[in-house]
């Protein structure tokens, strides 16, 4: 038994590589993309060339042969600088490519994964609907079998990476029938971009994540081959639960990165900013505030790495993923608020990264399972009544 929680040499090398990329390539450019609400194709392409989109996938499908811990490390380092870039990677891997890898046929994997792993193509996961968010069992989108095709009708909302120029597919959850007790049979179906009847709305005007792509989707008699069914019919609900469990580990890593980025920026600013004749870093009120922020980021890191390690080892990780996601997202909001306070008036100016971090943090308590849902999951894992 090993009690060493530090990264392996290979993982540490990856961390340093992504850290350097984030500071040298992302940091100088992302502010302009963010202000323009523009998707950073140039940065995403470079991430693809680095192999980041293929990190947790086998080499036979064009991946890097890594694991979920490696993905989390990359996400944390990116989010220390910018969350729009980090969520593009997280959604592209955890929600876009992972369902195909976990549940797809060999033919589907060969068709889609190489381009998804290279970053040439992005995938999206169409789960949330206007009336079915946390209650995904309330899905209203339908898919009816018509000969050799599924005919899909309905809509999805808040779907990340669904409308970029390089989006190649959206995996859609849809009701394909009813169980004997009347409950819906929810299935997952791959819908290639550009399929007739599949309409992608204009990008949302968002509070944060302004350099990422988020849109509403509509399906009007969209016909796709029956072979586009992902996994077994009626297993879509179970599939998305597994995908979200894994995704929460990734989101927790991203949230930890944002929390750590707030520390980084606060330390830097506190050393530069003078008040009453001294750097504000000499004042205990500022020191204690930053020390508390660092403590929270450190504990969030331990949480997501523990969940990731369990996932990689094939051990149960649902509770640990929920804990990591709940805690890290709370810490991200806390640290973003405190970092803004450390910066004073400058923290309210968009030219400073902490202003971006403040705007980006809140969604972490909502996306891929709200904080309330995480508490429900933790309670159930403890054996409390559902």
CATH of the domain at 351: 1.20.140.10
The domain that contains 228 carries what CATH number?
A: 2.40.110.10
Check whether residue 192 and residue 68 sit in a common domain: no
Check whether residue 270 and residue 375 sit in a common domain: yes
Check whether residue 376 and residue 244 sit in a common domain: yes
Distance CA 365, CA 252 (A): 10
The residue written with tokens 């094939």 in the block is 314
Distance CA 245, CA 275 (A): 46
Retrieve residue 271's tokens: 């050393």
Check whether residue 97 and residue 143 sit in a common domain: no
Q: What is the pLDDT of residue 298?
A: 98
The domain that contains 46 carries what CATH number?
A: 1.10.540.10
Rounded mean pLDDT for each run of 10 residues along the chain, 386 residues in total: 72 97 97 96 97 97 95 98 98 96 96 97 94 76 97 97 97 94 92 98 96 97 97 90 92 98 98 93 96 98 96 95 98 98 95 95 94 96 92
- Dihedrals φ, ψ of 158, to 5°? 60, 40
Reduced 3-state DSSP string for the chain: CCCCCCCCHHHHHHHHHHHHHHHHHHHHHHHHHHHHCCCCHHHHHHHHHHCHHHCCCCHHHCCCCCCHHHHHHHHHHHHCCCHHHHHHHHHHHHHHHHHHHHHCCHHHHHHHHHHHHHCCCEEEEECCECCECCCHHHCCCEEEEECCEEEEEEEEEEEECCCCCCEEEEEEEEEEEECCCCCEEEEEEEEECCCCCEEECCCCCCCCCCCCCEEEEEEEEEEEEHHHEECCCCCHHHHHHHHHHHHHHHHHHHHHHHHHHHHHHHHHHHHHCEECCEEHHHCHHHHHHHHHHHHHHHHHHHHHHHHHHHHHCCCCCHHHHHHHHHHHHHHHHHHHHHHHHHHHHHHHCCCCHHHHHHHHHHHHHCCCCCHHHHHHHHHHHCCCCC
Distance CA 9, CA 336 (A): 31
The tens digit of pLDDT for each residue in 123-138 reads: 999 999 987 776 767 8
* Residues composing the chain: 386
- Dihedrals φ, ψ of 144, to 5°? -110, 135
Q: Which residues, other chains included, contact 147 with Cβ-Cβ below 8 Å and sequence gap of 6+?
A: none
Name the catalytic one among 90, 338, 368, 372: 368
Q: How many domains does the chain have?
A: 3
For the chain, the C-alpha Rg in angstroms (whole number) is: 21
Check whether residue 286 and residue 372 sit in a common domain: yes
Check whether residue 313 and residue 250 sit in a common domain: yes
Query: From the centroid of its chain, how far is CA 332?
Result: 14
Q: What is the pLDDT of residue 131?
A: 79
Q: What is the pLDDT of residue 1?
A: 42
Check whether residue 73 and residue 129 sit in a common domain: no
Q: Write out the residue range of the structural domain in which residue 161 sits.
A: 124-234
Retrieve residue 2's tokens: 């090993």
- Dihedrals φ, ψ of 59, to 5°? -65, -30
Sign of the four-CA dihedral 164, 167, 173, 177 = positive
Check whether residue 99 and residue 192 sit in a common domain: no
Q: What is the pLDDT of residue 386?
A: 77
Distance CA 18, CA 5 (A): 20
Q: Assess if residue 267 is contained within a domain.
A: yes
Give the strand pairing for 149-160 and 214-225.
Answer: antiparallel
Q: Assess if residue 35 is contained within a domain.
A: yes
CB 214 within 8 A of CB 37: no
Q: Assess if residue 338 is contained within a domain.
A: yes
CA dihedral defined by 33, 34, 38, 44, rounded to 10 degrees? 70
Check whether residue 91 and residue 161 sit in a common domain: no
pTM above 0.85, yes or no: yes
Examine the residue annotation and report whether 368 is marked as an active-site residue of this protein. yes
Q: Which of 51, 54, 27, 29 is nearest to 42 (CA)?
A: 29
Retrieve residue 142's tokens: 């339908």
Distance CA 27, CA 24 (A): 6
Distance CA 31, CA 36 (A): 9
CB 77 within 8 A of CB 204: no
Sign of the four-CA dihedral 266, 254, 40, 367 = negative
């Amino acid at each position: 038994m090993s009690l060493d929680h530090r990264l392996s040499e290979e993982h540490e090398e990856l961390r340093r590589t992504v850290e350097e990329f984030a500071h040298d390539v992302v940091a100088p450019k992302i502010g302009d993309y963010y202000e323009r609400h523009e998707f950073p194709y140039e940065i995403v392409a470079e991430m693809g060339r680095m192999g980041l989109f293929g990190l947790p996938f086998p080499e036979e499908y064009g991946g890097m042969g890594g694991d979920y811990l490696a993905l989390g490390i990359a996400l944390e380092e990116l989010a220390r600088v910018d969350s729009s870039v980090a969520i593009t990677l997280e959604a592209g891997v955890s929600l876009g490519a992972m369902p195909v890898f976990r549940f797809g046929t060999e033919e589907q994997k060969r068709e889609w994964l190489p381009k998804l792993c290279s970053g040439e193509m992005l995938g999206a996961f169409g789960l949330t609907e206007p009336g079915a968010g946390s209650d995904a069992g309330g899905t209203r989108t339908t898919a009816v079998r018509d000969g050799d095709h599924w005919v899909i009708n309905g809509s999805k909302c808040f779907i990340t990476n669904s409308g970029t120029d390089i989006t190649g597919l959206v995996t859609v959850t849809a009701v394909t029938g009813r169980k004997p007790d009347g409950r819906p049979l929810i299935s997952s179906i791959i819908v290639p971009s550009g399929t007739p009847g599949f309409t992608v709305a204009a990008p949302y005007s968002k509070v944060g994540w302004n350099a990422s792509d988020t849109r509403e989707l509509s399906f009007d008699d969209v016909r796709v081959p029956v072979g586009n069914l992902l996994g077994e019919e009626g297993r879509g609900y179970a599939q998305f639960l597994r995908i979200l469990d894994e995704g929460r580990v990734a989101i927790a890593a991203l949230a930890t990165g944002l929390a750590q980025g707030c520390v980084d920026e606060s330390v830097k600013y506190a050393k530069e900013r003078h008040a009453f004749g001294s750097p504000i870093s000499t004042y205990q009120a500022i020191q204690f505030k930053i020390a508390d922020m660092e403590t929270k980021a450190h504990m969030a890191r331990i949480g997501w790495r523990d969940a990731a390690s369990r996932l990689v080892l094939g051990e149960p990780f649902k509770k640990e993923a929920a804990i990591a996601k709940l805690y890290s997202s709370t810490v991200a909001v806390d640290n973003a608020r405190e970092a803004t306070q450390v910066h004073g008036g400058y923290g309210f100016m968009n030219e400073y990264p902490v202003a971006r971090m403040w705007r980006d943090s809140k969604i972490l308590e909502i996306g891929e399972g709200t904080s309330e849902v995480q508490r429900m999951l933790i309670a159930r894992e403890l054996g409390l009544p559902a």
